[in-house]
Structure 1
Amino acid sequence: MSKTKSKQDKDPSSSSASVTLAELSSLLAEHRNAISADFKSSFEALTTTLDGLNSTVAGHGERIGSLEDNSNEVDRRLQHLENACSTLQQDNVLLKTKLADLEGRSRRQNIRIIGLPESLEGDKPRPVIVRLHRFQVKDLLIREARRRGELFYKEHKIRLYEDYSSDVLKERAEYKSSMAELYKRGYRPALLYPAKLRITLPNGEKTWIRSVLEADKFLQNLNK
């Protein structure tokens, strides 16, 4: 035993090396534990962040889905409104057409007299509307007035016109240039109610024109 003890006393480096390895092992273990704890903490924080992101994305998805549903509902309502508006526009056109026709028919047998004084004391003349029972009588009076040329009532010059509505007058005014050209060519055009053109040909035959386009086409054929 004395020999062994003396040998260890002679080699002190072996004891020092053993202590250093143990310390290194302990340090490595501590580092591993610290790194493991750091990784665990980091993963937990990352998991929490990802959970928050997933919750946010899910919330955004719900909002986007709600917006899509609202957008589809708005599109549906807008389509319904467009269809209703289109129907109302068509009804409005029909009603305006019927109203114009009723107004025109109600005023068809009227005569507008221009030049009659309001009283015999010489007040300023004003137009007077005379309503007859039949439009045929009105037509006879208008033709007779045109045949006579000038008409007087108690020294007041008067003129007789058809009491047409504004819509009828607008339609009839569109034939003005066509009728002027027909008169120039020796034809006898007559504009009948509401806006139908009757043309008397040189041979006495009559032809009917129902639109301004037809009148223009008739003139173009004459040029050919």
Structure 2
Amino acid sequence: MEQDSGPATRQDIRRLQEFIAEELARNTRALTAEVQVIGTRTARLEERAEAFTDTCNTLAHHAETLATRVETLEEALEDLSNRSRRNNVRLRGLPESVTSDALDATLTGIMKKLLPALPPARYLIDRIHRTLGVRKGQNAPPRDVVARLHYYSTREALLRTARDQQVEYEDGQLLFYQDLAPSTLAKRREWRVVTELLRSHDMRYSWGFPFRILVHKDGRTYSCTHLYRAQDFLRQLGLEVPDAIAQLTPPSSLPRLSRDWSPAGD
């Protein structure tokens, strides 16, 4: 079949224009439909992202609220534990050769030497025992002895006297401590850098509740509740801040999500 190689007629050109116009219209309709579908899906995704953002931020707020409440409950539990130990005294260094049956009489004898002015009734011990656990080998230090004294005033006098003078038993040194909750002891150990600095400058300190450290200087009382705040605390006392304290930062809050987009069509 021979191809027509003659020039295009007006009719040919019109048909070509109609064909191109139809193709453009068809493609435009297809693209418009796809854009509408994508727009609808994008709007739904934005709505879901907005809901997820609000939910995440709400959960972060609830988590921080719960963390605060847990901290409050832990402080209350710690206080109850310490109150239950209020009349207790912890004795360290008493040889294991002192049997359980002899602990009461032994501590009573020690108290009579340290506090000879007390009436005999004031030496009353409600209960006494060694700390739980197995001693690790014959050369391991003896287990601590925990005693509950009937009178709080006797316990205070015993700790005060033992702090000011050396106490010995069978050529070994005895140490008397408060019997505190493990959580309280752990917190105090974290403050060792600060307490050692205070002692090196002959600054006497005490502990308060809720947990805080108290220092009396020049008729004023300075206190600090958290270790990361100790920088300002030490500066107020005129002390140089150790590097270990200077590097501490406040705990960061949970991150919040932001809406960094504009809804489709804006």
Partner of 1:139: 156
Q: Where in structure 2 are the equivalents of 1:54-93 lying within 5 Å?
A: 54-93=32-71
Q: 1:43-101 CA distances to partner (integer Å, 9 max, x unpaired)?
A: 22221111111111111111111111111111111121121122122223322332333
Q: Distance in 2 between matches of 1:64 and 1:198?
A: 64
Does residue 163 of the first structure (1) align with residue 179 of the second (2)? yes
Task: Determine the C-alpha separation between the residues in 1 that align with 2:151 and 2:216.
Answer: 22
Residues of 2 paired with 1:79 and 1:190: CA distance?
42
Secondary structure in 1 matching 2:202: helix
1:151 to 155, 158, 168: 168
Report the equivalent of 1:177. 197
The verdict on how the C-alpha distance between 1:74 and 1:67 changes in structure 2, with shifts beyond 3 A counting, is same
* Alignment deviations for residues 122-181 of structure 1 (CA, whole Å, 9 cap, x no partner): x662211112244332111112334552232x6654322222331563487534433442
Matches of 1:157 and 1:84, distance apart in 2: 52
Q: Provide the C-alpha distance between the structure 2 equivalents of 1:177 and 1:163, rounded to a whole number of angstroms.
A: 24
Q: Deviations over 1:174-198 (max 9, x none)?
A: 3443344237xxxxx4747665446
Work out the CA distance in 2 between the residues paired with 1:88 and 1:162. 32
Alpha carbons of structure 1 residues 40 and 208: separation in structure 2 relative to 1, 3 Å: closer
Q: Relative contact order: is structure 1 or structure 2 higher (C-alpha 8 Å, sep ≥ 6)?
A: 2
Distance (Å, rounded) in 1 between the aligned partners of 2:150 and 2:37: 79
Native 8 Å contact 1:118 1:126 kept in 2: yes
Question: Which of the numbers 126, 144, 147 marks the counterpart of 1:130?
Answer: 147
Contact 2:166 2:173 in 1 (8 A): no
Whole-angstrom CA distance in 2 between matches of 1:218 and 1:131: 37
RMSD: 3.5
**Taking structure 2 as the reference length, what is the TM-score of the superposition?**
0.54
Taking the aligned partners of 1:216 and 1:72, their CA distance within structure 2 comes to 46
Aligned length: 180
**CA–CA distance in 1 between the matches of 2:93 and 2:54?**
61
Aligned with 2:86: secondary structure? coil
**CA–CA separation in structure 2 for the residues paired with 1:208 and 1:104:** 27
CA contact (8 A) 2:92 2:174 kept: yes
Equivalent position SS for 2:154 = helix
Q: Distance in 1 between matches of 2:49 and 2:191?
A: 51
Partner of 2:12: 34
CA drift at 1:42: 2.1
What's the secondary structure of 1:126's corresponding residue? coil
AA aligned to 1:43 is: A
- 1:51 maps to 29
SS in 1 for 2:201: helix
Separation in 1, partners of 2:190, 2:86: 15
Which sections of structure 1, spanning at least 5 residues, go unmatched?
1-26, 184-188, 202-206
Shift in CA distance, 101/176, structure 1 to aligned 2, threshold 3 Å: farther
- Does the residue aligned with 1:182 lie in a helix, a strand or coil? coil
Moved more, 127-136 or 63-72: 127-136
Whether contact under 8 Å (1:104, 1:168) holds in the other structure is: no
What TM-score does the superposition give when structure 1 sets the normalisation length?
0.63
Gap regions ≥5 residues in structure 2: 1-5, 100-137, 225-231, 240-266
Identity of paired residues, percent?
23
Q: Say whether residues 1:211 and 2:227 are aligned partners.
A: no
Specify the alignment match of 1:103 in structure 2.
81
Q: Structure 1 pair 180/127, CA: closer, same or farther in 2 (3 Å)?
A: same
Aligned with 2:9: secondary structure? helix
